[in-house]
Structure 1
Amino acid sequence: MSLNRQPGAEPAPGGKGAVPGDSRGALRVMNFEMPGGRRFERHEHSAHQLAWAAAGTLTVDIGAHSWVLPPTLALWIPAGTPHTTSATRPALMRSVYLLPRHSPVRRPGPTVVAVGPLLRELITHLADTPLEPGPRARAEALLPDLLRPVEVTTIEVPMPRDERALRVAEALVAHPADPRSLDEWGRLVGASARTLARLFSAETGLSFGRWRTRARLRAGLEHMAVNRPLTAVAHRVGYTSPSSFVAAFRHETGRTPGAYFSAGQGQGGGD
């Protein structure tokens, strides 16, 4: 298996910069300790990747799409797919890499899969346990059967391109509870409220209000992944009550925060 170095991380199987491969089996599991703010910039691998946070939350961006992944969910990233991976708060990423020629999985695009107890323990077993070739081959053969796709609506927060609107967007991503109106933001960045509203609509496809709602909800996911109480999460991201946060979350994703986080729990079967 060839290896490719990600910036600031251990080598991960991939394309350019390859070195002699790993002889342990058809797949490899690697651990990445990710302090808050760590970001692996846009890169790709010649191997398929299953990106999973054993602790904390990962955000994976592919094109215009963004997935926030608690430990109950992982993302299948086909070989050759450019992506970025980041963690706003400390996380442990365990990535599974499979060479396409050895992989029975043929999903052509990014796919969210449930991480139930059996898949979680199997990945940990392959990552942490020294195994002889026979037991390792049997464990590896089981893993693809446990990759069960789940329907998860991603919370997309597209960023505007205009410098003035982008300054507002970046400030709200950093501090989602900031209550300032478009008029107040406009005075700060040198644009009228009408101009900012037009820029958000034209460049993100969302009204400013809906864009801010999504930014708050995605920030809320990251807080919930570290088991903060729902009331505290709601207040941290700008909601006056947990019920208003849950209502907004359900409106955007079609499910409650609890259902989002439990999507993979109790599931260990195949497709």
Structure 2
Amino acid sequence: MLSLYFEPAESPLGWEVPTVVDATGLTGPLLEYVVALGSTAHDRRSHALTVLWDLLLPVPVAAIPSILPDDAQTRAVALAIRANPADGRSLARWGRDVGSSARTLSRRFRSETGVSFESWRTFERLNAALPLLADGLPVSRVAREVGYLTSSAFIAAFRRELGTTPAAYFNGTSATSTD
């Protein structure tokens, strides 16, 4: 991944918010070239940017909510899951570990994040899975690394939250297979 920031006024594209783009083909090397030029070679940079603006294509990005709770005990659980999404402790076990009841943690997760504990954990697991999948790791390995016992359970959660399978998401298709 390469991140570049342009002043909105510098770009003729009219994008005023950060935008993820497809960096395949010529776009990736051209972005690296622009970075290497820096601000010293004004004419060459200007020419490269003219070509770059023609090549940039935004890509859809899944937004998976990931709000951290404010309550100290609930936040401790959330941070521990974020650090290790494969941790499968139940809410009752988490409660014992942080000195709270499962019911209190459940209520706080819902009130402070807007979703249940299980939904929040699913979001965290999917957030952890996306970079692994983008790196080309097999779905079965990613599923295990983020806490799913089977690939099919992971694919089902992925499809439920993102509307497609992992393979289709990264291939830009709407396939319904379960790799």
Pairwise TM-score range, normalised by the shorter structure: 0.7 to 0.9
Pair 1:239–1:149, CA change in 2 (3 A):
same
RCO higher in 1 or 2 (8 Å CA, sep ≥ 6)?
A: 1
Count, aligned residues: 171
Pair 1:117-2:25 in alignment: yes
Q: Which amino acid aligns with 2:6?
A: L
Matches within 5 A, 1:1-271: 53=1, 94-128=2-36, 133-263=42-172
Change (3 A) 1:158 1:258: same
Output the CA distance in 1 between the equivalents of 2:66 and 2:82: 9
Instruction: Provide the TM-score with structure 1 as the length reference.
Output: 0.58
Residues 152 and 260 of structure 1 are in contact (CA less than 8 Å); yes or no, is this contact kept in structure 2? no
TM-score (ref. length: structure 2): 0.84
**Helix, strand or coil for the counterpart of 1:114?**
coil
| Shift in alpha-carbon separation, 1:98–1:108, aligned structure 2, 3 A | closer
How many angstroms apart in 2 are the aligned matches of 1:108 and 1:101? 9
Question: What letter is aligned with 2:54?
Answer: D
Name whichever structure is richer in strand by fraction. 1
SS of residue in 1 equivalent to 2:4: strand
Counterpart Cα distance in 2 of 1:251 and 1:99: 37
Give the letter aligned to residue 172 of structure 1.
I
Note if contact 1:197-1:207 (Cα within 8 Å) is conserved in structure 2: yes
Distance 1:121 1:195, change over 3 A: same
Q: Is the contact between residue 37 and residue 45 of structure 2 (CA under 8 Å) also seen in structure 1?
A: no
Q: CA RMSD in A?
A: 2.1
- Distance of 2:169 and 2:18 partners within structure 1: 18
1:223 Cα deviation from its structure 2 partner = 2.1
* Contact in 2 for aligned 1:114/1:149 (Cα 8 Å): yes
Structure 2, unpaired ranges of 5+: 173-179
CA drift of 1:142 comes to 1.6
Q: 1:124-173 CA deviation, whole Å, 9 max, x = no partner?
A: 23234699654432211121222322332212211111001001001111
Q: What do the CA deviations read for 1:162-199 (whole angstroms, capped 9, x no partner)?
A: 00100100111111111111111111111111110000
In 2: Cα distance, 1:240 partner to 1:198 partner: 27
Q: Distance in 2 between matches of 1:146 and 1:114?
A: 9
Query: 1:119 corresponds to which letter in structure 2?
Result: T
Q: Report SS of the residue matched to 2:168.
A: helix
Report SS of the residue matched to 1:111: coil
> Following TM superposition, by how much is the alpha carbon of 1:104 offset from its aligned partner in structure 2, in angstroms?
1.1
Q: Please, which moves more after superposition, 143-152 or 181-190?
A: 143-152
The structure richer in helix per residue is: 2
Which segments of 5 or more consecutive residues in structure 1 lack a partner in the other structure?
1-52, 54-93, 264-271
Partner in structure 2 of residue 16 of structure 1:
none
